[in-house]
Amino acid sequence: MADLQLRDVEKSYGEVKVLANINLDIKRGELIVFVGPSGCGKSTLLRMIAGLERITGGVLEIDGQVVNDVPPAQRGIAMVFQSYALYPHMTVRENMEFALKIAKKTKAEIAAAVDKAAGILQLTPYLDRLPKALSGGQRQRVAIGRSIVRDPKVYLFDEPLSNLDAALRVATRLEIAQLKEQMPDSTMIYVTHDQVEAMTLATRIVVLAGGGISQVGTPLDLYERPQNEFVAQFIGSPAMNLLGGAVTQTGVQTAIKLDGGGVALSAVPTLAADLGMRVNIGVRPEDWVATNTAPIYTGEVEITEALGELTLLYFKRLGDGAQVVGKLPGIHTNLRRTTVNMTADPKKVHLFHGGLSLLYR
């Protein structure tokens, strides 16, 4: 139940700087999710907050106290890992009691804390079982239970669901969402590779890339108003389409003549765009609409992937190798090898110049 502040936090391994300029305010009760490509430093940042990695520059405060040199056990933090790290010879109850016994809590305090956590996590029927007699999802709940009993200021989750199969992942994700609702004042930081986890669990997402923060915002902020092409293409699956062109009209609406010949209108009110400026337009696969007049993009469908509720259309690659993808509700395998004209609502056409969104210029 804490606020965290990171000021110009850095991490170097010898000469190699892996993180720099990390500035972030996390408010009590938030569930912050770190996402980013492999190797961008998500786990390193989480481990620095936990105190498992030394902070080589900048300041980390928890509840107004600088904790850079405070050992992990005294930071009031509990960390849940993807490998549950349960003691195999101890029952669920003993696993959950362990840290409290070390902390010399009374028997009554320990029993109350364990019973409460077991209730929240629906583990009460399993308290006398050994971990080997539990499913993967139940084991992960015990690992979370071990944190809850300690009543930490901050919960850190390092890809807690990545060892679970697809169905269990969905179920456990929902349980974490419910757990957060039951503990509205708890501050949680969560690292994941999974977009759905990030979009559904986060109060705010932090996108890390290139050794720094690329954007921080609510899931919908990042989806609807990405600040740069990296975030635009990282959030959302398949990735946002980017097509190159030049601005031919500015004002309330911007018109862009695309290199492929089409013309796009964008509602980005580009006082920011200059005539002739090179831009990339960004259109999400689900925002394409078939049209008979004035298409933004005309292409031949090379591959279709019918996923049941929707079909992905992969068009022939453009001259520069870029792949254009469309997403249509329903089954549309009949569109393979047909040529389709597409447009998009100007409100859904993003504009980027030099990789940055013109919305923020």
Ligand X SMILES: Nc1ncnc2c1ncn2[C@@H]1O[C@H](COP(=O)(O)OP(=O)(O)OP(=O)(O)O)[C@@H](O)[C@H]1O
Give the rounded distance of the alpha carbon of 92 from its chain centre: 31
Cα–Cα–Cα angle for 238, 242, 245, rounded to 5 degrees: 165
How many of the other CB atoms lie within 10 Å of CB of 299? 21
Task: Give the shortest CB-85-to-ligand X separation in angstroms.
Answer: 17
13 binding ligand X? (CB under 6 A): yes
Identify whether the C-beta of residue 17 lies closer than 8 Å to the C-beta of residue 11.
yes
318 binding ligand X? (CB under 6 A): no
Task: Give the shortest CB-306-to-ligand X separation in angstroms.
Answer: 31
117 or 207: CB nearest ligand X: 207
Q: CA-CA distance, 259 to 252, in Å (whole number)?
A: 23
39 or 261: CB nearest ligand X: 39
Q: CA-CA distance, 52 to 46, in Å (whole number)?
A: 9
36 or 217: CB nearest ligand X: 36
Task: Give the shortest CB-222-to-ligand X separation in angstroms.
Answer: 17
DSSP code for 293: S
Q: How many residues bind ligand X (CB under 6 A)?
A: 10
Task: Give the shortest CB-27-to-ligand X separation in angstroms.
Answer: 24
Q: CA-CA distance, 359 to 269, in Å (whole number)?
A: 8
37 or 125: CB nearest ligand X: 37
18 binding ligand X? (CB under 6 A): yes
Task: Give the shortest CB-14-to-ligand X separation in angstroms.
Answer: 7
44 or 187: CB nearest ligand X: 44
Outline where DSSP puts E strands in 27-72: 31-35, 57-62, 65-66
**Binding-residue pattern over the window 22 to 61 for ligand X, x denoting contact by CB under 6 A:** --------------x-xxxxxxx-----------------
42 or 327: CB nearest ligand X: 42
Task: Give the shortest CB-38-to-ligand X separation in angstroms.
Answer: 3
| Closest to 148 (Cα-Cα) out of 176, 128, 174, 107 | 176
124 or 162: CB nearest ligand X: 162
Residues 74-133, interacting with ligand X (CB under 6 A): none
Task: Give the shortest CB-153-to-ligand X separation in angstroms.
Answer: 23
Query: For residue 162, what are the contacts with CB-CB under 8 A and spacing of at least 6?
Result: 82, 192, 193, 194
Q: CA-CA distance, 348 to 130, in Å (whole number)?
A: 53
61 or 194: CB nearest ligand X: 194
Task: Give the shortest CB-208-to-ligand X separation in angstroms.
Answer: 7
Q: CA-CA distance, 153 to 3, in Å (whole number)?
A: 9
Residues 275-294, interacting with ligand X (CB under 6 A): none
Burial class (CB in 10 A: 0-12, 13-18, 19+), 7: middle
Give the rounded distance of the alpha carbon of 300 from its chain centre: 33
φ, ψ of residue 121 in degrees (nearest 5): -95, 5
35 or 113: CB nearest ligand X: 35
Task: Give the shortest CB-114-to-ligand X separation in angstroms.
Answer: 32
* Site residues, ligand X (CB under 6 A): 13, 18, 36, 38-44
